[in-house]
Amino acid sequence: MNLDTQQSPETAAPKQSLKAWLNSDVPASRFQANMVQLYSGWLKLVANPLAFLGFLILVGLLASAVFAPWLATADPVAQDLAARLTPPGTDGFILGSDELGRDIYSRIIYGSRITLLIVTLVAVTAPVFGLLVGTFAGYLGGWADEVLMRVTDVFLAFPKLVLALAFVAALGAGIENAILAISITAWPPYARIARAETLTIRNSDFISAVRLQGAGTLHIIVRHIWPLCLSSIIVRMTLDMAGIILTAAGLGFLGLGAQPPMPEWGAMISAGRKFILDQWWVATMPGLAIFIVSLGFNLLGDGLRDILDPKKSKS
């Protein structure tokens, strides 16, 4: 920092003030306050090597999804029957080729798009729905609480994969239905968390103050309760994502998720299952991809829990 100021005092001045602006104890605006919080969170993330590794893995997932056409060395669905089941590292197949002579490396790269799609769609549906149910149940109380939580319990009572299986069986196999089924099975924990948070917030003084100012129920829930539930929801979401990826891969493995020739990782393992004893790479490589990505989510989730939750929740 000192070096900077010595070399070019004119350009360093705004830079340093940016840092000061980010470290300010008395933010002048809501935007600055948010930025200060974001910046201090970022510093904590960088200081936690495992969480940062998880973050990097997810950045890698994002990059490989966005830049897939440039990163891939071959067309993910182009077949070359003359080069079927080529071992890794030969003839330009970095990770080998599958039973139809398709390049496994390129398929994994393109498969990251499917994984990202599943993760994003589940992340924008299940937690939002859970938040909605949980906050209304917690804030309204009484019979509304009783009914909503009973419904949540019913969904919690089902084992996730089996319920998802039954849903996909009813709706038909395919990636959209797999995502829908996962969302339907994933929301109840968020409702539980949001309700618990709401119960601790709803009797606090600032809520009473807002209510005395004439704010309606909807306004209080949306503007004052939701923001306070967000951090626990986000932590839970990051930790859940690994499980969601595994469930999606499991559905794909059973042939109920993404349909061929889509390069979905779980389905790729399923295809490689027949050759596992002789051509081990066909099933092993996509599994490694699933493992790395879900490990990334787990590492980041663990780190985020430490960063966002000063109480350091137990489980």
Partner 1 sequence: MTSVESTPGERRTKNASPFFRGLKRLGAGLFSMVATMFGLLLVTFLIARVMPIDPVLALVGERASQEVYDAAYKQLGLDQPLVVQFFYYVRDVVTGNFGTSVLTARPVIEDIGRVFPATLELATLATIIGVVLGIPAGVVSAVYEGRWPDQIVRFIGLFGYSMPIFWIGLIGLLVFYGKLGWVGGPGRLDIYYEDIIPSVTGMILIDSLIARDWTIFWNAVSHIILPASILGYYSLAYISRMTRSFMLEQLSQEYITTARVKGLSETKVIWRHALGNVMIPLITVIVLSYANLLEGSVLTEVIFAWPGLGNYITNALLSADMNAVLGGTVVVGLVFVGLNLLSDVLYKLVDPRAR
- Give the footprint of partner 1 on this chain (CB under 8 A): 150-151, 153-163, 165-167, 169-172, 242-243, 246, 249-250, 253-256, 266, 269, 273, 276-277, 280, 283-284, 287, 290-291, 294-295, 298-299, 302, 314-315
Query: What secondary structure letter does DSSP report for 93?
Result: B
Residue 62 CB, nearest distance to partner 1 (Å)? 18
Beta-carbon contacts of 255 under 8 Å, excluding residues fewer than 6 positions away, are: 173, 267, 270
Residue 268 CB, nearest distance to partner 1 (Å)? 10
CB nearer to partner 1: pick between 74 and 249 = 249
C-alpha dist (Å) from residue 239 to 145, 167, 189, 211: 26, 24, 12, 35
Residue 279 CB, nearest distance to partner 1 (Å)? 10
Residue 110 CB, nearest distance to partner 1 (Å)? 19
Is residue 245 packed enough to be buried (19+ CB in 10 Å), middle (13-18) or exposed (0-12)? buried
111-136 exposure pattern, b = at least 16 Cβ within 10 A, e = fewer: bbbbbbbbbebbbebbbebbbbbbbb
302/264 Cα distance (integer angstroms): 27
CB nearer to partner 1: pick between 76 and 138 = 138
CB nearer to partner 1: pick between 117 and 163 = 163
Peptide bond into 9 cis (omega under 30): no
Residue 298 CB, nearest distance to partner 1 (Å)? 5
CB nearer to partner 1: pick between 248 and 262 = 248
CB nearer to partner 1: pick between 52 and 291 = 291
Residue 269 CB, nearest distance to partner 1 (Å)? 6
CB nearer to partner 1: pick between 24 and 284 = 284
Token digits of residue 158: 């089902």
Return the percent helix, strand and coil in the chain, to nearest 5.
75, 0, 25
CB nearer to partner 1: pick between 55 and 253 = 253
Residue 191 CB, nearest distance to partner 1 (Å)? 14
Alpha helices in 141-225, H assignment, sequence order: 142-157, 160-171, 175-186, 188-201, 205-212, 217-219
C-alpha dist (Å) from residue 11 to 1, 8, 22, 39, 211: 12, 6, 17, 21, 49
CB nearer to partner 1: pick between 79 and 284 = 284
Comparing C-alpha atoms, which of 39, 106, 118 is closest to residue 73? 106
CB atoms within 10 A of CB 43: 13
Name residue 83's amino acid: A
Residue 252 CB, nearest distance to partner 1 (Å)? 10
Beta-carbon contacts of 62 under 8 Å, excluding residues fewer than 6 positions away, are: 116
